[in-house]
């Protein structure tokens, strides 16, 4: 009786991802960096551990990065 398990090498994984038009990261851990919700849970968990002052600082840094990125586009 065969259990149908096999190992996939990186080259084959890349080929499969190209065929499916998804990233390797999405296949490996279910997260796509192109998703609108990318890292939402991780950021929420991280921010929950910060003081309000640090949350404000992180917000201002993110706002500066977004403004800088928008200038380049």
pLDDT (0 to 100) of residue 10 = 87
pLDDT tier, 49 (very low <50, low <70, confident <90, very high otherwise): very high
* pTM of the entire predicted model: 0.54
State whether 27 and 48 are in the same domain: no
Domain extent at residue 8:
1-31
| pLDDT exceeds 60 at position 14 | yes
Integer distance in angstroms from the first to the last C-alpha of the chain?
57
State whether 66 and 49 are in the same domain: yes
With 0-12 CB in 10 A as exposed, 13-18 as middle and 19+ as buried, what is 32? Answer: middle
Please provide the average confidence, as pLDDT, over all residues in the chain.
85
* Averaged pLDDT, 51-66: 95
Q: Are the C-beta atoms of residues 55 and 47 closer than 8 Å to each other? A: yes
State whether 27 and 55 are in the same domain: no
State whether 43 and 73 are in the same domain: yes
* Averaged pLDDT, 50-72: 93
pLDDT tier, 58 (very low <50, low <70, confident <90, very high otherwise): very high
Selection from 29, 24, 22 nearest residue 8 by Cα: 24
């Amino acid at each position: 009786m065969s259990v149908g398990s096999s190992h996939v090498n990186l080259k084959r994984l890349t080929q499969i991802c190209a065929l499916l038009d998804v990233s390797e990261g999405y296949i490996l851990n279910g997260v796509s960096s192109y998703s609108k919700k990318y890292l939402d849970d991780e950021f929420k968990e991280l921010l929950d551990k910060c003081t309000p002052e640090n949350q404000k600082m992180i917000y201002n840094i993110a706002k500066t990065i977004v403004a800088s990125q928008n200038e380049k586009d």
